[in-house]
Amino acid sequence: MIFESFEAPGLSQYSYIVGDAGTIAVIDPKRDIDTYLQFADRKGLRIAYVLETHIHADFASGARELAAASGAELCLSSYDKGETYVYRFEHRALKDGDELPLGAYSLRVLHTPGHTPEHISLLLVEPGRSAEPLAMFSGDFLFIGSVGRPDLLGEDEKLKLAGALHNSIGLLKNLPDGMLLYPGHGAGSLCGAGMAQRQESTLGYERQTNPFLQIEDKDAFVKQVLGSVPEFPDYYRRMKQVNSAGPEILNGIPGAKHLPLREFQAVAKEKDAVLVDLRRQEAFGGAHIPGSLNVGLAPNLSSWAAWVLPYDRPILLIGDAQTNLEEARRALIRVGLDSILGSLRGGIGAWLESGSKQAHIPQISVQELREVLNSPQSAVVLDVRSPGEWKSGHVEGAMHIPGGELPKRLNDLPAEKPVYIICGSGYRSSIASSILERAGRRHVTNVNGGMTAWNNQKYPVAKG
């Protein structure tokens, strides 16, 4: 048997290759599809099927483009008809019980609605030996230690979907304890709450340890699952629309061109491009192009870029000699930010050496923040962490606006007061600082080390 798993960093998203006898299927592929094409070429394999478990909300699907590039059959759920989001491009519609042959194995379709109405799981079986499945590719239905959130379609649908999720869990009773479980996401994804760090499990182990598999009463289950959902990123609605229509065929990773300074400036003005600075927060604070947004090249670049960058504007990238621009471009297209025009040749150094205007955002330590708070000056501490992090402990008197909500809540901040922005470590607060500066706010300061440093200094916190 052929088996390989792939992880998209930052999104905690898993995709899989499975097959036999030189023929493979790719399940839930990410947008940069060259990963799968190169794997198949190296191994001399034929991609026969490209499958999706559902219409994804947190990343741009690569299924349509991979099927077109490989000649594979694109196989998607048939249970989208009449729903809020439907597949609007050509594909083979799979229904419950359908089987796709892969040498001595096959993939059997199991309709498991709840996370979304059309959601399917894929059971790997070996018909010549047993009808019992060896493994389940569960997408966002069943995670390790958790289940998929049922609130993606809004208030009107979430109760019905939560009930459907409970019914889908009931389907597991006929499946063996030894069946391997391969989910669509791991810890760090916002598609479910409380996921374990492990990338695989068995159904038997989940029956013993997954709290959602131990709630038999439907009403109690619905209350528990809806009460545990993480924050809802605004970009999820956009991603559902993109994946329903079918993401644009890219034929490669856009934005490879390195633009000389004058051309970079001209393109930025002509195209009204968003300038994205990929450097660490300390470097960005020291000097950057006025109006640029600091979304540092880190594992979570994809998700934060999707939260704060506008989808209707082209993007120009800025880095330095250490910046892996290809990695950044891949991270952006994974969340549908495709209009990447290129990057500044020579990076930020070329801009500074030209004598062009530059901006700065002060960076302070938690010790300095403590001194500010003990002084008579009037200042605002803005905490941009998630609601769960905020409740676990925050600077007393701080204001809370989750970072992903900041672009639409700028007017919530008191005018003219100095703002000191804090997060967990300094990464998200630097994004927020650049958003405020770009919006024309003065007296913005980023707190390096964030609440991690604050707690390490054993400074007091408020909870709840």
Positions marked catalytic: 423
d(CA 344, CA 398): 37
Tokens of 260: 């000389």
Q: What is the DSSP track for 31-61?
A: S-THHHHHHHHHHT-EEEEEE-SS--SSS--
Report CA-CA distances (Å) from 4 to 7, 64, 281, 368: 10, 20, 36, 49
d(CA 169, CA 249): 36
Where would I find the beta strands (DSSP E) of 83-174? 92-94, 99-102, 105-111, 120-126, 130-139, 142-143, 146-147
d(CA 404, CA 378): 26
d(CA 332, CA 302): 6
Tokens of 281: 């927060």
Rg (CA), the chain: 24
Interstrand relation of 419-422 and 120-126 (parallel, antiparallel or unpaired): unpaired
d(CA 239, CA 336): 7
Report CA-CA distances (Å) from 295 to 143, 281, 328, 360: 29, 9, 10, 15
Amino acid 13 reads: Q
d(CA 107, CA 128): 13
Tokens of 410: 């700028």
Tokens of 327: 């990695």
Using CA of residue 372, residue 373, residue 376, residue 378, what is the dihedral sign?
A: positive
Reduced DSSP (H G I as helix, E B as strand, rest coil) percent helix, strand, coil of the chain, to 5: 35, 25, 45
Tokens of 441: 């706010």
